[in-house]
Amino acid sequence: MLFFRRIANKGFCNTIQRDEFCNVSTKITDMIGMNLYKQPNHPLGILSNSIKTFFLNDSTPKSQINAKDTFKIYDSLSPIVDVKDCFKDLLVEDSHETMSPKNTYFINKNHVLRTHMTTHDVDLLKKGEEAFISIGDVYRRDSIDATHYPVFHQVDGVRLYKNQNKEVVFNELKFCLEQLIKSIIKQDIQMRWIDAYFPFTDPSAELEILYDNKWLEILGCGVLRDGVLKNANINPELNTAWAFGLGLERLAMTLFNIPDIRLFWSKDKRFLKQFKQNEITKFKSYSKFPTCFKDFSFYINNDFQENDLHELIRSIAGDIVEEVKLKDTFKTKEGKESQCYRVNFRHMDKSLTNEEINILQFKIREGIVNDLKLELR
**Binding residues for ligand PHE, per CB under 6 A?**
116, 118, 156, 198, 201, 204, 220-222, 243-245
We find the least distance from the C-beta atom of residue 222 to ligand PHE, in angstroms, to be 5
Say how many C-beta atoms besides its own lie within 10 A of residue 228's C-beta. Answer: 24
Q: Which lies closer to ligand PHE via its Cβ, residue 121 or residue 371?
A: 121
Q: Which lies closer to ligand PHE via its Cβ, residue 137 or residue 322?
A: 137
We find the least distance from the C-beta atom of residue 70 to ligand PHE, in angstroms, to be 20
Q: Identify residue 5 by its one-letter amino acid code.
A: R
- Which has the closest alpha carbon to 137: 149, 124, 121? 149
C-alpha to C-alpha distance for 242 and 278, rounded to whole angstroms: 28
38 neighbors 60 (Cβ within 8 angstroms): no
Q: Which residue is nearest to ligand PHE (CB)?
A: 245
SS3 content of the chain, % helix, strand, coil (to 5): 30, 25, 40
- What is the side-by-side order of every strand in the sheet holding 375-376? 321-331, 337-345, 292-299, 375-376
We find the least distance from the C-beta atom of residue 35 to ligand PHE, in angstroms, to be 20
Q: Which lies closer to ligand PHE via its Cβ, residue 204 or residue 307?
A: 204
**Buried b or exposed e, range 110-135, using 16+ CB within 10 angstroms:** ebbbbbbbbbbbbbbbeeebbbbbbb
Query: Helix 354-370 to helix 306-317 angle, to the nearest 10 degrees?
Result: 140
Q: Which lies closer to ligand PHE via its Cβ, residue 220 or residue 367?
A: 220
We find the least distance from the C-beta atom of residue 288 to ligand PHE, in angstroms, to be 31
We find the least distance from the C-beta atom of residue 99 to ligand PHE, in angstroms, to be 14
Beta bridge partners of 216: 209
We find the least distance from the C-beta atom of residue 174 to ligand PHE, in angstroms, to be 13
Q: Which lies closer to ligand PHE via its Cβ, residue 7 or residue 221?
A: 221
Beta bridge partners of 221: 205, 244
Q: Which lies closer to ligand PHE via its Cβ, residue 122 or residue 312?
A: 122
Q: Which lies closer to ligand PHE via its Cβ, residue 177 or residue 317?
A: 177
We find the least distance from the C-beta atom of residue 266 to ligand PHE, in angstroms, to be 25
Query: Helix 166-185 to helix 248-255 angle, to the nearest 10 degrees?
Result: 40
3-state class (DSSP) for residue 154? strand
We find the least distance from the C-beta atom of residue 205 to ligand PHE, in angstroms, to be 9
We find the least distance from the C-beta atom of residue 67 to ligand PHE, in angstroms, to be 17
Q: Which lies closer to ligand PHE via its Cβ, residue 149 or residue 244?
A: 244
8 neighbors 29 (Cβ within 8 angstroms): yes
CA dihedral 24, 27, 30, 31 (to 10 degrees): -90
Strands 72-74, 131-139: pairing is parallel
CA angle 20, 26, 31 (to 5 degrees): 125
Q: Which lies closer to ligand PHE via its Cβ, residue 23 or residue 201?
A: 201
